[in-house]
Structure 1
Amino acid sequence: MKIYPIETGNFKLDGGAMFGVVPKTLWQRTNPADANNLVDLSMRSMLIEDGDRLILIDTGTGNKQSDNFFGYYHFFGGFSLDSSLAKYGFHRDDITDVFLTHLHFDHCGGAIQWNKDRTGYQPAFKNAKFWSNKNHWQWAIAPNVREKASFLKENINPIEASEQLQFLDIPTGDFAKNTALGFDILFADGHTEKQMIPHIQYKDKTLVFMADLLPTVGHIPLPYVMGYDTRPLLTMDEKAKFLNKAADNNYVLFLEHDASNQLCTVKHTEKGVRVNETFKFNEVFN
């Protein structure tokens, strides 16, 4: 098995929205804001090469939305999914599986693209299966008012129409072992219904793709919860349980949205679980 970090783009969001009730004087220590109160974020996917399977976890936003839409998010940095795949010798047509942690636009938008004459949409990965779960899918296709702006029908409906959609089984508890994709999955409900957090055994370490359970290093303290989360108190409980386990077992955390840090580890302190070390991917896995 080989794993590669795939940078699909950087963007900016309001710092207050990213940290909920936490005052700016506190969160700006780790995530400094610009003059418009915007903080830098990444959209970092993961590519898993495992035998004859090439699994992409999350896809970024893609590029099919309008200029007006993208204008809200201030993209920067020059990264793209295609150039990042090419860096490692791959093309999107090589992808066999696209695993979507959840269906917010910054995680699944790149799964669907315009067709050739821009009259409709088609899968951006023509040879891949798209993986979600039934509970989250139903949640996304009939969105609540809070999440409606993040669940875009042009991202979601064409996946179902493609006949490439597969659903993973939902466990009795919150943890699914050895799933159809060859890795374990933690199911978390605080951010959105049945978000899926992959746990991959890689080079004698447990590598966890954090998605929106832990967007950045700055979100490690328990009260630092995004305003976007539908059940913030549940997020705090889920984070506490996960972070204690991560500290106990020296998990390596793969950060999807941290523009400065690709990986981190955590440790127990008198103040609770806190960041231990931060790394570039190739500093841990070379």
Structure 2
Amino acid sequence: MKIHSIEAGNFKLDGGAMFGVVPKSLWTRTNPADSNNMIDMAARCLLIENRDRLTLLDTGMGKKQSEKFFGYYYMDHKYDLDSSLKEKGFSRDDITDVFLTHLHFDHCGGVIQKSSKGDFYEPAFAKAEIHTNSSHWKWATEPNAREKASFLKENINPIEESGQLKFISQNSSYEKQNEMDFDILFVDGHTEKMMIPHIHIDGKTFVYMADLLPTAGHIPLPYVMGYDTRPLLTLGEKEKFLNEAATKGYYLILEHDPYNEIITVKHTEKGVRLDKTFTFKDLL
């Protein structure tokens, strides 16, 4: 098994929203803001190469939205899925599976594209099964008012219409027996049943953090995003996971951190804190 970093395009989000109740004077130490209070964000997807299976984890925002839409997020198209896949020797048609940690637009937008004539939406990965879970699907297709702007119909409805939609089995909060090539932790603080993949390679466990830990700057427990639907639940989920990660030496792959690709954490007298940082080239 091999894993590759796939960059889908950097963007910016409001720093205050990204750090919730934490004062700007604290979070800017790790995540500096520009004059508009926006901080840099990555869309670091993950590609798992395992025998005849090629699985893409998350897809970034994609390209189908309007210039006005992308303008809100200062989208940088220096990186995109096609160029990143090509750099690794692959194309969209090689992808057998697309696994979506959750259906917020910055994680799933690239799974759907406009047709060549621009008159309808279609899957961007024509030969792939597209995986989510039934609980999160219901949450996203019947959205609450708080999250409605993050669950875009043009990203979600065409998945079902394509016939490529597959639901991951879910029998517990930590699912070791499923149809994917990795274990899955289900968490509910950020959104209902977000999925956190645990990938085991050569005795190491790599965890794709999605929005449970968007950047290294979010390690301290109170540093919870304003976007989270259940922030107090996130606190508990983070604490449990980070303690386990520090004890077991997990390698944490950060989806949204533009500065740190992979980190480890350690126990300290102040709680779990950053230990070491790595690039994909260092480890994989």
Runs of 4+ in 1 over 3 A off after TM superposition: none
> What is the percent sequence identity of the aligned residues?
65
What is aligned with 1:228?
227
RMSD in angstroms over aligned alpha carbons?
Answer: 0.7
Question: What SS is found at the alignment partner of 1:9?
Answer: coil
Deviation at 1:156, TM superposition (A): 0.1
What's the secondary structure of 2:244's corresponding residue?
Answer: helix
Instruction: Name 1:188's counterpart in structure 2.
Output: 187
Distance of 2:200 and 2:245 partners within structure 1 = 14
1:28-52 deviations in Å (ceiling 9; x for gaps): 0000001110000100000000000
Q: Tell me which amino acid in the other structure corresponds to 2:200.
A: Q
Partner of 2:206: 207
Give 1:144's aligned amino acid: N
Q: Which residue of 1 aligns with 2:66?
A: 66
CA deviation digits over 1:90-114, x for unaligned, max 9?
A: 0001000000000000000000000
Q: Is 1:142 paired with 2:142?
A: yes
CA–CA distance in 1 between the matches of 2:243 and 2:221?
Answer: 11
1:255 maps to: 254
Unaligned segments of structure 2, at least 5 residues: none
2:140 is matched by which residue type in structure 1? A
SS at 1:243's partner residue? helix
Q: Residue 179 of structure 1 corresponds to which residue in structure 2?
A: 178
TM-score, scaled relative to structure 2? 0.99
Q: Which runs of 5+ in 1 are unaligned?
A: none
2:234 aligned counterpart, secondary structure = helix
Offset at residue 203 of structure 1 (A)? 2.4
Q: CA deviation at 1:178?
A: 3.4
Q: Residue deviations 1:200-249, cap 9 Å, x none?
A: 00122000000000000000000000000000000000000000000000
Q: Look up the equivalent residue of 1:123 and give its one-letter code.
A: P
CA distance in 2, matches of 1:203, 1:193: 32
Verify: 1:163 aligned to 2:163, yes or no: yes
Specify the alignment match of 1:121 in structure 2.
Answer: 121
**SS of residue matched to 2:69:** helix
For 1:72 and 1:239, the matched residues in 2 are separated by 29
Partners of 1:211 and 1:182 lie apart in 2 by 17
- The superposition leaves residues 241-276 of structure 1 with CA deviations (integer Å, 9 ceiling, x where unpaired) of 000000000000000000001000000000000000
Give CA-to-partner distance per residue, 1:120-162, whole Å, 9 cap, x none. 1000000000000000000000111110110000000000000
2:106 is matched with: 106
SS at match of 2:84: helix
Structure 2 CA distance for aligned equivalents of residues 47 and 202 of structure 1:
14
Alignment of structure 1 residues 228-247 onto 2, 5 Å: 228-247=227-246
**Aligned-partner Cα distance in 1 for 2:240–2:277:** 21
CA distance in 1, matches of 2:277, 2:145: 36
Quote how far apart the aligned CAs of 1:77 are. Answer: 6.2
How many angstroms does 1:279 deviate by? Answer: 1.0
Deviations 1:170-197 (A, max 9, x none): 123x100032012100000000000000
Q: TM-score, normalised by structure 1?
A: 0.98
Residue 93 (str. 1) matches residue 84 (str. 2): no
CA distance in 1 between partners of 2:266 and 2:231 (Å): 23
Name 1:30's counterpart in structure 2: 30
State the SS of the aligned residue for 1:228: coil
